[in-house]
Structures are given as structure tokens and as C-alpha cells.
Amino acid sequence: MHRVYEDGGREIVLTIFRHNPNDEDSIPHFQDYPIIERPGMTLYIALTQIYTSMDHDVSFDFVCRAGICGSCAMVVNGKPRLACRTLTSEFSEGKITLLPLPTFQHIKDLSVDTGTFMNAMTKRVEGWIVNNSPQDISTIEKPIDPELSDEIFELDRCIECGICLASCATKVMRPNFVGAVGLNRVARFSLDPHDSRSDEEFYELIGDDEGIFGCMSFMGCQDHCPKHLPLQKQIAYMRNKMVKVC
């Protein structure tokens, strides 16, 4: 039973995975950090408290602290989540175990390299507007129907945190699988009327087992997406289009 203080705080324990793969003497292990929880405390705040007052060597990532950048994604008690959007009060027993996201290159402790994969994925699926028509910058851009614009914007809310990949069984088995993040990107541009690519051209990008046909529909990506994107709907949408091509 954890001690509860008069001001409403309670003692909790964060168990953090520690390892530096670049240090030959570093042995993977878990380290406990007891701290006093305060109202409204997030895992990001708890980790910052540990770093500033207990252990300057603990590594974790953050940028925005508002659930926008996706940098602080990590595995929390077995599930991938954003540290800045996860309250310590959600864990009634006061015991929280933190590990780095799987499937990405491990940097140190809770830090992983998501950028290398996301950059390669963007190039793989050509995640940008492709339009070979002559462009005249003096004219107004072709308008989009508001309902379609909202649908495209919904997919643009992806923050590339990597949680969908960390939740994906296919990604574990196939390291080159583009994952829900890549398929969502393709779906976004296939909807955009400014993009002139045909279904046949999109098929060349994702029409294999490392693309649209690799998904086994276990729903892990959608179940854990912190932005609640309709990932399985978009994957089904793209699979239906690609099947018609092949």
C-alpha cells in the first residue's frame, strides 16, 4: 500500500528500462524511482522530476508536451502511449513500468529513433502531392469540397509518433512494413484532388506484403492511436482499391 500525504499526494514508483547500446559496459536492467505524485501529474512531468532531482542520466524524448509532436511515445505498463497525455493517476496501484517503443532503433533508455523510419517511409510511399500539370502561381488553387477537405484533414492529424507501428504484429515480423502510418499517408493523397496519381501508380508503391497486403487487421494501430484516427477504415479503403488494380 502506497503512502498518501495530507496534501493529496501519494507515493508512486516508476520502473524504467535502462540501457545504452552504445556503451559496451551497459547491461539492460530496470531501475525503480519512487516519487510523490501530485494532482494532474503526467508521465512527462514525472520523468522530468526524476531527471532534474534524482538521475540526470535518464534518457527520454519530448518536444511539445501537448500531444502534438509524438516524441514522448513509450510503452507504459505494456501498452504504447504518449507520456505527455498519460496521467499517473490512471494507475491505481501506483506502479508504472516504462520501456522504449519496439520496432525502432534503440538510442538509450526510453529514447528511440523514429525519424529514420518516418523519413524512409515518406520516400517509399512518395508522401507528397504529385501533379505533372503545368502550374500557374498567379491563379487561385483549385478549391476542394468542404466535406472532402475535412476528410483529408482528419488523416493529416497523424503526428507520426510510431505508436501504430509499436502496436503492429506485422511490423514485428516484417521490418520493412510501412505500417498504418504509411498507408494512412497514401490514403490521404489518394483522396486529394490536387494529386494526379492513379490507383495503378499507388499500387506500385504499396501493392505488396510490405504495404497494403501485409496488414492482418488485428486493430492494434487503431486501438492505440493517440489521435483516434480511423486507421483500419483507411486501410480497408486502400486495400479495396488496390485489389481492383491487381
| 112-121 residue pLDDT tens | 999 999 999 9
Q: What pTM value is reported for the model?
A: 0.91
**Which residues lie below 8 Å from residue 197, measured CB to CB, with a gap of 6+?**
130, 189, 190
Considering the domain architecture, whether residues 157 and 96 belong to the same structural domain is answered as: no
Residue 3 counted as domain residue: no
Q: For the domain that residue 124 is a member of, what is the CATH number? A: 1.10.1060.10
Here the cell at position 191 is: 483522396
How many independent structural domains does the chain possess? 2
Residue 2 counted as domain residue: no
pLDDT, one tens digit per residue, over 126-173 is 999 999 888 788 888 888 999 999 999 999 999 999 999 999 999 989
Query: What is d(CA 23, CA 1) in angstroms, rounded to the nearest whole number?
Result: 37
Residue 5 counted as domain residue: no
Considering the domain architecture, whether residues 16 and 42 belong to the same structural domain is answered as: yes
pLDDT of residue 2: 55
Considering the domain architecture, whether residues 175 and 94 belong to the same structural domain is answered as: no
Residue 1 counted as domain residue: no
Here the cell at position 239 is: 486495400
pLDDT interval class at 240 (50, 70, 90): very high
Considering the domain architecture, whether residues 136 and 106 belong to the same structural domain is answered as: no
CA 44 to chain centre: 16
Strands (E), 114-164: none
Do 84 and 67 form a contact (C-beta atoms < 8 A)? yes
Instruction: Give the β-pairing of 29-37 and 79-82.
Output: unpaired
pLDDT of residue 139: 86
DSSP sequence for 71-90: TTEEEETTEEEEGGG-BGGG
Considering the domain architecture, whether residues 89 and 118 belong to the same structural domain is answered as: no
What is the span of the domain harbouring residue 54?
10-112
